[in-house]
Amino acid sequence: MLTTKQHELLVFIDRHLRETGCSPSFEEMKDALDLRSKSGIHRLISALEERGFLRRHKHRARALEVLRLSGDMTPMREQQRESQRFSPNVIRGDFSGKLPGVRAANIAGAVSIPLYGKIAAGLPIEAMNEHTVEIEVPVALMGKGDHFALEVEGDSMMDAGILDGDTVVIRKGEQAENGQIIVALIDENEVTLKRLRRRGNSIALEPANERYETKIFPAERVNIQGRLIALLRKY
């Protein structure tokens, strides 16, 4: 799900690409969305990229690619072909079973997962398992495997669209790809939410806020607890 501004920006970029053949400038995007600064555009683009709607091509000026529009999982390069041979599809929902690691929620189309509390130093994930709170998450956001949720404290990931007070949904696992946002356990006693960057035999934990520094550790000091798959926000 996208916010109103994220959706407006995605539609504007897609229209500009189709009409001009090139990406809009940050100034054009700022004016189109009636924002006061370009930093807001940076945050929106990072959030769209993180959610798989947009791709930035490195080392190319103004190079944005729209992968899909909000609510449409069809890649943009296939949409014209699909529009010529459209036929409606019906997706059957079967909630008679349970996803691994979760129990069925009372609301159809949702599952309950444990909320371990705030992500903070001093508590490994495994030490948080005596939780008393569960939250309901739309089944469309989930997948196979075990999941848990954490409440974000701080603004170190705000440029990736993750704000203080947000709830992040994490898929448990010890593997993650370069560039994914993970929950990392450092030295068996400090937990943090950062973007993963592998550099040789080292792991860099990269914030998404220029006021914070990237921290680099030997690989043996960092254990991946899971990776971010969804974000929930209350207004």
pLDDT for 127 equals 46
pLDDT for 227 equals 93
Q: How far apart are the first and last CA of the chain?
A: 14
Helices (H), the chain: 4-20, 26-32, 38-50, 76-84
Mean pLDDT for all residues in the chain: 77
- With the CA atoms of 136, 191, 198 and 44 taken in that order, what torsion angle do they form, in degrees rounded to the nearest 10? 50
> Could you report the per-residue pLDDT of 109-122, keeping only the tens digit for each?
788 888 887 775 44
Higher-confidence position of 225 and 62: 225
Instruction: Report how far apart, in Å, the C-alpha atoms of 113 and of each of 30, 136, 233 are.
Output: 38, 7, 16
- Which amino acid, residue 26? F
User: 86-99 burial by CB neighbour count: b if 16+ within 10 A, else e?
Assistant: eeeeeeeeeeeeeb
Q: Which CATH class is domain 103-232?
A: mainly beta
Catalytic (active-site) positions? 156, 194
Q: Determine the distance from the C-alpha atom of residue 86 to the mean position of all C-alpha atoms in its chain, rounded to a whole number.
A: 30
**pLDDT beyond 60 at 82:** no
> Could you report the per-residue pLDDT of 149-203, keeping only the tens digit for each?
998 888 889 999 999 889 999 999 998 999 999 999 888 878 889 999 998 899 9
CATH of 4-84, one of 1.10.645.10, 3.90.105.10, 3.30.56.10, 1.10.10.10: 1.10.10.10
* Rounded Cα–Cα distance for residues 13 and 41 (Å): 12
Residues of the chain with CATH 2.10.109.10: 103-232
> Which residue spans within 122-214 are E strands per DSSP?
134-138, 147-151, 167-172, 181-186, 190-199, 202-206
Q: Determine the distance from the C-alpha atom of residue 1 to the mean position of all C-alpha atoms in its chain, rounded to a whole number.
A: 11
Q: pTM of whole model > 0.75?
A: no
* Rounded Cα–Cα distance for residues 48 and 66 (Å): 9
* Angle at 36 (CA atoms; ends 32, 37), nearest 5 degrees: 95
Q: Determine the distance from the C-alpha atom of residue 176 to the mean position of all C-alpha atoms in its chain, rounded to a whole number.
A: 13
Residues of the chain with CATH 1.10.10.10: 4-84
* Rounded Cα–Cα distance for residues 22 and 14 (Å): 10
